[in-house]
Amino acid sequence: MATMVLADLGADVVKVEQPGVGDETRTWGPPWWGEGEEAASTYYLGLNRNKRSIALDLRDPDDLDVASRIALGADVVVDNFRVGTMARFGLDRDSLAERRPDLITCSVTGFGSTGKGAELAGYDFLVQAMSGVMAITGRADGEPTKVGSAVVDKLTGLYAAIAILAAVEERRVSGLGQHVEVSLMGSALAGLLNVGSSHVVAGTDPGRQGNRHPSIVPYQPYRTADGVLAVAAASPSLWEKLCTALDREVWLTDERFANNEARMVHADDLEAEIEGVLAERSTAEWLECLRAAGIPAGPINTVRGAFRDAAELGLDPVDELDDGGTTGGRPGPFRSVRSPIRMSATPPTVRRRPPTNDEHGREVRSELED
């Protein structure tokens, strides 16, 4: 994730993989793109555009020499090995910095590199479980639930990309590189945001509240005549607008709903009142009404519906690369989720479809000889 973000922004990313399958996410399917032995999982495709691939066996002295030359010729070296692996191959920060003190290195770990966690492998689901994310996700009377996508992986990748860019800017000033480390566990804890703050500051141990917000009411889905509508009236002015739009100004003088703190105490009562009104009309009708009143509201979309809505709202959520051919038996243009970053002068671009393993091996080796 970290290197794809940087690649979208223009970096030349060389992905060093082991011979054979290489990146194991290629096998994490279905769904697949392509057919037969050359088929790749959509999981792999979603994280590897704009990269080049070279296959190297770091246990082979000649391949290790190639890897060392790639690292020493780079601006940034990123790894997600188990702690200590890079040092065994002489590719760690200390070893590389002896020859390239301006080199920036970045390690993504599961649980850090200095304590007992250094010995543990990290996976998104595992860290969702250990970090408290699952404890606050799901119905209040149900079991702990993971988030439907790899949210910890995403957070870690984004934190790593941000830190790398900060290190690049620092190097511009000082001329020196540094080592960046970002852990899955640390990223997950930081990603708890207000929930983590409530524990650190007030000593709470928050649990699951279903689709309700722990600090804001109304801020949840509500049933309508034919479905469900998400309503986010997250300020006093929006609460007033909601009461007016629903023709229930009487709620403004109801002591149970006088302010957000009171509404939190009487959330069940308010939910029943709101759903009593929303039952009179369809989701589509209420959506038009609430949006016209300036109240944040939206449907509970499927993934297909989310992309449809994003397109209708003008976000152009899908990027398509038609490079005039096929790669590895994968036919037609390559489609991917567009980067959310918009920049007026240097916007992210999709220049390469995700590579097959060692697709650019000969090319990269040739560049090292130049």
- Give the C-alpha separation, 264 to 255, whole Å: 12
What does the pLDDT read at residue 165?
A: 98
Q: Does residue 49 belong to any structural domain of this protein?
A: yes
Same domain (yes/no): 129, 277: no
Q: Does residue 23 belong to any structural domain of this protein?
A: yes
Helix, strand or coil, per DSSP, at residue 54: strand
Q: Does residue 213 belong to any structural domain of this protein?
A: no
What residues make up the domain containing 140? 2-194+316-369
Same domain (yes/no): 181, 95: yes
Same domain (yes/no): 273, 170: no
Q: Does residue 203 belong to any structural domain of this protein?
A: no
Our count of domains for the chain comes to 2
Q: Does residue 210 belong to any structural domain of this protein?
A: no
DSSP states of 87-141: HHTT-SHHHHHTT-TT-EEEEEESS-SSSGGGGS---HHHHHHHTSTGGGSS-TT
Residue 127 CB neighbours (<10 A)? 27
Q: Does residue 205 belong to any structural domain of this protein?
A: no
Q: Does residue 320 belong to any structural domain of this protein?
A: yes
What does the pLDDT read at residue 349?
A: 96
Same domain (yes/no): 342, 296: no
Same domain (yes/no): 235, 127: no
Same domain (yes/no): 32, 143: yes
- The CATH number assigned to the domain holding 242 equals 3.30.1540.10
Same domain (yes/no): 111, 14: yes
Helix, strand or coil, per DSSP, at residue 221: strand
- The CATH number assigned to the domain holding 107 equals 3.40.50.10540
What does the pLDDT read at residue 166?
A: 98
Name the residue among 362, 226, 244, 202 with its Cα closest to residue 285.
226
Give the CA count within 13 Å in the CB-facing half-sphere of 84.
7
What does the pLDDT read at residue 163?
A: 98
Indicate the residue among 301, 332, 360 that finishes a domain: 301
pTM of the model: 0.92
What does the pLDDT read at residue 221?
A: 97
Has 153 been annotated as catalytic?
yes
What does the pLDDT read at residue 39?
A: 85
Same domain (yes/no): 174, 228: no
What does the pLDDT read at residue 36?
A: 79
φ, ψ at 307 (rounded to 5°): -65, -35
Same domain (yes/no): 106, 186: yes
Rounded mean pLDDT for each run of 10 residues along the chain, 370 residues in total? 98 97 91 84 95 98 97 97 95 96 97 94 96 96 95 98 98 98 98 95 94 93 97 96 96 95 96 97 96 96 96 96 66 90 96 94 93
Q: Does residue 214 belong to any structural domain of this protein?
A: no
φ, ψ at 292 (rounded to 5°): -65, -30
What does the pLDDT read at residue 370?
A: 74
Indicate the residue among 301, 324, 355 that finishes a domain: 301
Same domain (yes/no): 223, 78: no
* Block residue for tokens 């793109």: 33
Same domain (yes/no): 130, 225: no
Same domain (yes/no): 285, 176: no
| Identified catalytic residue from 153, 247, 268, 323 | 153
What does the pLDDT read at residue 114?
A: 94
What does the pLDDT read at residue 331?
A: 67
Contacts of 271 (CB under 8 A, 6+ apart): 218, 220, 222
Indicate the residue among 275, 301, 327 that finishes a domain: 301
